[in-house]
Each structure stands twice: as structure tokens, then as C-alpha cells.
Structure 1
């Protein structure tokens, strides 16, 4: 039922135990201020800030031990290769642009914080194009491996989805906790992070988690009714067969009779959910959401959250004919996947990936600028009469 399953089946074969993500500098100069394509829309063009990157020890003794942070820097960017290394698998590199350990641009800070929740079976660097782009517009972006990410989880994904429904929102809150440490007077990013302006974004399962962190609530009664029509779906069997385990993970006393208690973090103000293709909230659970939200959906997904979201301010972009994995880094940025015969993971049968990513960057950046900076120009770019891109549909109650 979920496109998540496709992603897991194609990527989980790569998984063993992961070594830390490394970042290696290459010779180069600041990239020209362009988008991925020369016809990128306004906010799809790289922003005015050079982008720095730090990989920091969080103090957590689990899969979140290493946290990645992108931020505005005074140093010059260079080409970077995010080197992903696994004990029993060939190397995978993701090509990006950042200044490793660059000196933060404190003079123009502090900057709003964006928490990023990656897709299942991925690694955060798979979405470097997006995370760097947000930082180039004056945001601090923080992320780490999640429990269900590539090289982290040793078990069977199809029998552990129930865990991830609970751990993903919890892990987003843990990232904000660590951001508070970084932003302290003696922290590594003192004067850089504004914890009064916080957003969250995620792809696929990370998009679903983003909705949960901003108020959407699980409705597993509705989910069970859907599963009755799909008895062979492994996600249904796993989630509905492990309700007691979910209760324990969530710190509850018993299985709720209706919607589950909120996992929202009150520190988070807004959300951008990209391809959040899961029906676990249902209409009643989605109606509990009350924060401004932008949903970017792939039309080929059988389901995505939007119509029933209770947010008074909500917007939706649908990439027509796009498959679920349209959000992934393109094969040119992640060539190892194509070399391993997994071209369909880093390409879309209809969309040029660079065009899709320029649009994702444009809408997400404009939304975060409008909501976290109060940027009137960015808000104007989200008005219906300003959105006239071929290949998409757009609707909004906010602009």
C-alpha cells in the first residue's frame, strides 16, 4: 500500500552496519547563484548565503550519535562529496556544495531552525540538494540518521514499521533538544540558531513524521478499516499486530479507543511534508493538526495527507504523474545507485529530476521564508495567481 515499501525493498538490500558519514572537500569555488536547471523558479535559485556544514557528536548513544547541521557561513563553499561507507557494501557518494566546518555567519543571525526527517531506508545526505538549499536562504538545518535509515536498523523493516511511527516524531524532538545545546552561550552555534522560529520538513516517512510533530494524530481504527480491504499488506499486519508494543514505545497505559494522543512538539511552528504517503492518521487524526503546512505530493502515490488536515493555513503542490521517489537525489548526484542497477530509485519515468527538485526547493523555501521570516515577497510567490508552472496543480488557503 505504501510507496515506502518500494523504497525499503530497493534500498534495504544495501543495509549492513554503517560507518559515520564523512564529508570530503574538493577544489572549487563558490557555485554560481543558479538552480539545478537554468529555468529554475525564483526560490529554486541558490540563495544569498554560502553554506557551512558541521558533523557533531550529539551525546546520544544510539543511531543519533552524529548530527549534521547546515548553516550560513562566512567561508567560501566548495564542491563536497558526502561519502557513505558500509562494511559490506561498495561506497556511495553524494555530490553537493558546502564549506565543512565553515565559520558561522553570526552577524546576520540568529537564523530559524528547520528539523529534517529523512525518508525510510535513506541517509540524510541523499537529500543534500534540499538541505543545502534551505541553508542558503538563511536557515539552520539539523538532521541525523533515524532508526529506520540506511545502515542503522538491523531488523526487518516490514515487521518494525510500528516502531518507526512512534520513534520518528520522538527523534525530531530530540534533534531540537540538541539544537538547544548548540544554541547555548557556550554552544558550537551560539548566536546562530533562533529557537523561537522552528520548522520541520521531511520526505516520505519523514513527511509523515513532520505532520505528526505539528499535530496530526494516529487513528488506527480508521487504519484497520482500510487494512480490512488489503489483508496481505505487510504494513497492516505489522502495525495492527503490535499495538501493545506501540503503546509501550509511546509511554501510554493502554491502546487508545479513538485517535492516539498527540506527538506534537510545541516548539515547532510550521511543516513542509514532501510525499507523506501514509493513511495512518485518517480524517479525524488529520483534523487535529493546527499549524501552517505545505504538502508536496507525487500524483502516482495512492494516498497523501492534505484534504482533511485541520490547519487553517495549508497549501498543496501536486507533481502530476510523478512517482513517489521523485524527491530522491538525482542519479547524477548519487551515481552509485544507477551503477548498481537501481536507476529507478534516483530517477522518475516522467519528470526530469532537476526540474522536480527546483520546484520542491522553490515552494519549500518560499513557504519557510513567508512563515518564519514574515517575508512578504515569498508569500506573494505562493499566491495562486503567481503559481503557473506546467506539470503541477496548486491550492492554498493561506496566500
Structure 2
């Protein structure tokens, strides 16, 4: 892997600004009305949802372009939150603007209300920090951010600087920014937790003792470290990734850190959700630290994952986790693309772009509905300690319904309609 400079945040911002009219004109709705077969917890919650875009700055961070000196690391955040009941009158419909890996602009219509009033400060809500993959963007899981906010969470989703579609020409320089991703992903997650708890706008809305991290792909790689799964990079591992030999030797100890560079994990983290987490095949997380990790964890995978790997990747990470409250949800015949929103229409014009979203054996909207249902059940159970929500976490591995003697089907998983959950496995503990 060559070390290449990426476009600056300023250039990316100018690019997005120059395409703002295109974005607005092409805004599209990805989701249909929720069908009757939607899993129970995938229906929107009681709260109206507001959304704001913030920028936070982590001062004095290592320059991961040259690995010499420090600079201030600026991060853009999309923040979804429970809003007051009059938000529809005082806000404007949310539109999420970004670019594909090819650089093509797109604009998606959401169900939140831009800059809507916050819910009354008489209540506080758990904080969820959400983290995209390499490459990606902060709204890539907007459907999940909006959904969790409607059920009483504040969700802060990160644009990881050096690792977004807007900054990297993926076709020409697919490895650009990867060293920054390896070093900064977990540190960004921890910093956003701290920044949100001190933010003047949201501080009173957040319960400071209830936080969870959701990561997709490299976001999951970082999240495992953030909650205590230490990195253990070897020079040979980095060399296999394409780092030149001298750099691999010097970077290995730099990348090998625990808990986002802290001496111990932040106790405010109460749970972990990792979609298609990367790193298991490369053995970059120390097995001993994973075995000592007791935080409730939900891992989600496709059993044909061709990026993170399944049997020697995600499934191995799951087996290494020491938590008694650990779960693995598996989409059978799915690959790596099990967390992003469905593909915008423009993505179908390029193999490079559609390959970031499309699952040939699955309907993308079905995946998003199941993700909403099971993620909410897990977080409500293990962050909010809601025993009723725990009942939605399946006890049996397969949601296979068999015909009984009376001709009726055996019951589906809790919250699922008859015949709707086929093709999904749910593993808990060491079963």
C-alpha cells in the first residue's frame, strides 16, 4: 500500500457545496411505507425525530499522513435526537447529501426534521456513537439513526476524516487514508462520546451513564477496540496489507493500542453493535483482551462476507468475545453489504458504486428492517435494561417454521410475522 495524500476537508466541502443544487433536485426516497410484515420493533417509535449537523475538533492529534507532528482533527457529525411534538411545524424535512465512491453526487430524503426542537430537558436519553466503514459517510446508516432516535436515543454518526467517499478517489487510489483509518477509527469514537457529553446543545438531553457504539466494517474494527479489544498489529500483518517493510515495522507498535489509546475502556460504554467488523482474519485484535471483554455485544454478519470474512473473520471474533451477553445475527448468503441504506438509483450506473450497497441474495429494505428490529431490541435490553425488550432476542438459532399436526406453522421469532424471517440465524452465548 502506498502512502498517498488525500483531498483536504476544505476541497471536499467545496465539492459538496458546488453540488448542493444537484443534491436538492435529485433527492429520492429509498423506503416504501412499512409493510405489514415489518418486524414489530422496526416500526417507528413515539418520538418525532430531529437532526442537526455538527462539527467537533479534537486538538493535537497525530498527523497520520506523514506520522510526524500533530494537527487538529475535525470531524463532521450527523446527530439524530428525540424532538418535541411540534417539530413538524418548526423544522424542515431532512435531506442527506453525499457522494458515491465514484464521486457522483446523490441526495436522499429522510424521515427526520432538520434543526427541529429538542425534546424537553426533563428527560435524558442514551447516547449512541455510530461509525461508518472504509470508505463511507456519516449518513450511510441514516435509517438506523432515525429509527433509534424515534425510540428515545441520541445518535451521533461520524464522518471519519481521511476515510470518506468525498475525500478519496477510490478508483484511482483505493488505499488512500487507510493508515489514518487504522489509527484514528477508535480514537474518533471515544472523542465523539466525550464531545457530545460536553456539547452545549445536547448535554442536557443525554444520559451520561448510558452509551453504546455501533460500527460498520472498519467502524466495527474500531468499536471492538474502543470497548476493550486491544489491537495487536505485527509488522508482517501490515506488510501483508501493502505497507512497505520499513514503515510496517515502525507503525506496528503505533497502531497497537487499547481502548482508543486510553489505559482502560471508558465505563460509560454499556454495549457494542458491530456490523461486518473487520480484523478477524488479520488477527489485529488481541485474543486475550477479547476474552476479557464482558460488555454486551451484538455482531451482525453475512456468511458469505468477502471483505471481513466470516468463519475466520466475524464468526471468529464472536467466539473470542468473553461476554456472557453476546449475540451473532447471520444473514445467510449475504456478503459484506448488510448495514448501509439501500443503493441510490445513481449507484446502479457503476460497478464500483453498486458494489458498496448491493446484496444479490437479499432485498436491501428487508435487511434494514431486520437491523432496526434487532438492534433496538438489543440496545433496549442491555442499555436501557428493559426486560420486555430482552424477550425479542431470539432463543433459538433458526427462524424456521415447520408445519405442525394441525396444519399450522410453528411460531416465528418474537416480533416477526409468519414466514418473514427465513434466511436469518441468531446465535447467543456459546450455543
TM-score band by shorter chain is 0.7 to 0.9
What's the secondary structure of 1:125's corresponding residue?
Answer: coil
**Partners of 1:213 and 1:263 within 8 A in 2:** no
Within 5 Å, give how 1:8-19 maps onto structure 2: 17-19=11-13
Instruction: With a CA cutoff of 8 Å and minimum separation of 6, indicate the structure with the bigger relative contact order.
Output: 1
Partner residue, 2:194: 177
Partner residue, 1:247: 253
Partner residue, 1:322: 334
Sort the Cα spacing of 1:17 and 1:263 in 2 relative to 1 into closer, same or farther, 3 A: farther
Q: Which runs of 5+ in 1 are unaligned?
A: 6-11, 27-31, 253-259
Sort the Cα spacing of 1:203 and 1:124 in 2 relative to 1 into closer, same or farther, 3 A: same
Partner residue, 2:325: 313
Provide the rounded CA distance (Å) in 2 between the counterparts of 1:78 and 1:307.
45
Task: Give 1:151 deviation, angstroms.
Answer: 2.2
Within 5 Å, give how 1:170-209 maps onto structure 2: 170-182=187-199, 187-209=200-222
Sort the Cα spacing of 1:195 and 1:151 in 2 relative to 1 into closer, same or farther, 3 A: same
Partner residue, 1:29: none
What do the CA deviations read for 1:311-357 (whole angstroms, capped 9, x no partner)?
121111011110101222112xx223223453332221101001111
What's the secondary structure of 2:333's corresponding residue?
Answer: coil
TM-score (norm 1): 0.79
What's the secondary structure of 2:358's corresponding residue?
Answer: coil
Partner residue, 2:405: none
Task: Give 1:64 deviation, angstroms.
Answer: 3.2
**Partners of 2:130 and 2:213 within 8 A in 1:** yes
Provide the rounded CA distance (Å) in 1 between the counterparts of 2:152 and 2:12.
31
Provide the rounded CA distance (Å) in 2 between the counterparts of 1:246 and 1:41.
44
1:288 and 2:292 matched = yes
**Partners of 2:275 and 2:338 within 8 A in 1:** no
Partner residue, 2:428: 396
- Alignment root-mean-square deviation, CA: 3.7
Sort the Cα spacing of 1:356 and 1:377 in 2 relative to 1 into closer, same or farther, 3 A: same
Sort the Cα spacing of 1:262 and 1:118 in 2 relative to 1 into closer, same or farther, 3 A: farther
Provide the rounded CA distance (Å) in 1 between the counterparts of 2:218 and 2:189.
12
Sort the Cα spacing of 1:44 and 1:311 in 2 relative to 1 into closer, same or farther, 3 A: same
Aligned residues: 363
Partner residue, 2:52: 54
Partner residue, 1:380: 391
| Rg comparison, structure with higher value | 2
Q: Which runs of 5+ in 2 are unaligned?
A: 26-30, 60-71, 397-412
What's the secondary structure of 1:271's corresponding residue?
Answer: strand
Partner residue, 2:167: 152
Provide the rounded CA distance (Å) in 2 between the counterparts of 1:290 and 1:130.
25
